Amino acid sequence: MQSGTALVLFSGGQDSATCLAWALSRFARVETLGFDYGQRHAIELACRERLLDGVKALNADWAQKLGESHTLKIPTLADISDTALTRDVAIEMGADGLPNTFVPGRNLVFLTFAAALAYRRGIADIVGGMCETDYSGYPDCRDETIRALNAALNLGMAKRFELHTPLMWRDKAATWKLAHDLGGDGLVDLIREHSHTCYLGERGARHDWGYGCGKCPACALRAKGWGEYVASSLRGA
């Protein structure tokens, strides 16, 4: 258990919901930050409130630790990003080997805004769900990138921030298992029901692993991870 307050990048997706529980199990107080940048899965933002309510209902200690929920609007990101997340175009792989869901530098922008907010609020610990394991090729999710940015933020703001990425070396199945370790079936069910992952922003169809189109890369990854998690927990692993 660390003292002090953590700021969690909280989009309302599976990864950030798991990071929220991770932070609540380690820090005395936890604030959350979501970004509104015109993403077409803006439904994620609506999921945040339901997840926060659910987390509070699940655990009285967590309810007492949860502090402010912040939202920052950065529409500029949509203005400069001609990608599948912010424009109504099909998700596909580009010639550079990156899916066109890649918003260039998005996590650099998110973490820099998070650090600026943390600075103002006297917070040193920042938690994000960046992950290199189920790596879609997004270079701003790599551990090396996060460590370099951590150093740049510390220099540029004359602070000693610590960027925590608890999912960095976990695949999606391991992320479900982490949620179970932190909050049992209650947390797994809450994340399954109320977190949002689908790039297309679809909530219509309910699958074993939650809601989504079932076809986009994010849904496919979540479905695969859920299948592996269920298989391994049935084996008692």
Least separation in angstroms between residue 99's CB and Zn ion is: 13
User: In the sheet that 27-36 helps form, which strands lie side by side, from edge to edge?
Assistant: 66-73, 27-36, 2-9, 125-127, 162-164
Q: Does 216 bind Zn ion (CB under 5 A)?
A: yes
Q: With CB under 5 A, what is the number of residues at the site for Zn ion?
A: 6
Residue 21 within binding range of Zn ion, rule CB under 5 A? no
Q: 149-208: which residues touch Zn ion (CB under 5 A)?
A: 198, 200
Cβ proximity to Zn ion: between 191 and 200 the closer is 200
Residue 210 CB, shortest distance to Zn ion, in Å, is 10
Question: Smallest distance, Å, CB 236 to Zn ion?
Answer: 31
Cβ-contact 56, 104 below 8 angstroms: no
Smallest separation (angstroms) from Zn ion to the CB of 216: 3
Helix (H) or strand (E) holding 50: helix 43-58
Residue 90 region by backbone torsions, left for phi larger than 0, else alpha for psi between -120 and 50, else beta: beta
Give the residue, chosen from 6, 58, 78, 219, that forms a contact with Zn ion under the rule CB under 5 A: 219
97: burial class by Cβ within 10 Å (0-12, 13-18, 19+)?
Answer: exposed
Q: Is 212 in the site for Zn ion (CB under 5 A)?
A: yes
CA distances from 183 to 18, 25, 125, 139, 233 (A): 9, 9, 22, 31, 15
Tell me: does residue 213 bind Zn ion (CB under 5 A): yes
The verdict on 123 binding Zn ion (CB under 5 A) reads no
Interface region with Zn ion, contact rule CB under 5 A, candidates 20-28, 124-132, 148-156, 218-226? 218-226
CB of 104 to Zn ion, least distance (A): 22
Establish if 85 lies at the interface with Zn ion (CB under 5 A). Answer: no
For residue 103, which of 84, 88, 76 has the smallest C-alpha distance?
84
State the nearest-atom distance from the C-beta of 166 to Zn ion, in Å. 24
Q: Which of 150, 143, 140 is nearest to 118 (CA)?
A: 150
| 141 forms part of the interface with Zn ion (CB under 5 A) | no
Residues that bind Zn ion (CB under 5 A): 198, 200, 212-213, 216, 219
